[in-house]
Amino acid sequence: MFTKPKNGWTDILLGDFEGLGSYIQDVPVEVMDACIRALRDGVPVELHFDEEGSEFTLTADETVKIVAQGYYGPEEYEVKLSKLELIQEILGDMEKFFEDWVEWPEEYAYFEDHEKEAKQAFYDERVILLQGLLAELREELEKIS
C-alpha cells in the first residue's frame, strides 16, 4: 500500500488506485490510529488523504472503497481486500519503513546543524510514539486471530 516515504511524500497503491500521502498529515500516526480504532470498536477503517490539490477517502470493511476527488470530479475504486487484510498490509509497511516514518514530519527536516540535541530528542520521542502505536496495533490484531 505505502511506498518508502521520501521528501515528505509516499505513494499509496491499491489495485488500480494510485494516490499520495503528504507531509501535511502525520500519515503513520493517523493511519495506525484509524486501524486500531477499527479493530477495537469493530467499525470500518476510514482514512482521508489530502494530496495538496486533490483528496481521497478510503473506507475498508468487507472490501476497500476509495473515493477520489480531483480536478476532474469524483472517481470511485473498489479493491478486493478485507479490512483485516488492509490493516495487515499497513502494519507491514509501517514496520518495513519504520525509520522513514520516524523522520516523516516536516519539523524533522528543518532542524539546523546546531540543533543536534533537539533533533535527537524529537527523533527519540517519535520512535517511542510509533513503537507504541505498532505494539497497540499488533495487540489488537492478535485479539482477532
The answer as to whether 85 is a domain residue is yes
pLDDT of residue 70: 73
The answer as to whether 1 is a domain residue is no
**Structural domain of residue 118, as residue ranges?**
9-144
Q: Residue 52 class from Cβ within 10 Å (0-12 exposed, 13-18 middle, 19+ buried)?
A: exposed
- Tell me: the pLDDT tens digits for 55-98? 999 999 988 999 998 777 788 999 999 999 999 999 999 999 99
pLDDT of residue 76: 92
The answer as to whether 4 is a domain residue is no
Neighbour-count burial for 93-127, b at 16+ CB within 10 Å, e otherwise: bbeebeebbbbbbeeeeeeeeeeeeebeebeeebe
Sign of CA dihedral 88, 90, 96, 101: negative
The answer as to whether 15 is a domain residue is yes
The answer as to whether 2 is a domain residue is no
The answer as to whether 35 is a domain residue is yes
pLDDT of residue 102: 96
The answer as to whether 62 is a domain residue is yes
Q: What cell does 96 get?
A: 518495513
H/E stretch holding 129 reads helix 116-144
Strands 73-79 and 64-70 turn out to be antiparallel
The answer as to whether 3 is a domain residue is no
Residue 138 has pLDDT above 80, yes or no: yes
Query: What does the angle CA 26 – CA 7 – CA 69 come to, to the nearest 5 degrees?
Result: 60
- Tell me: the pLDDT tens digits for 2-51? 999 998 999 999 999 999 999 999 999 999 999 999 999 999 999 999 99
The number of folded domains in the chain is 1
pLDDT of residue 56: 94
CA dihedral 103, 28, 20, 85 (to 10 degrees): 140
Q: pLDDT confidence of 117, banded at 50, 70, 90?
A: very high
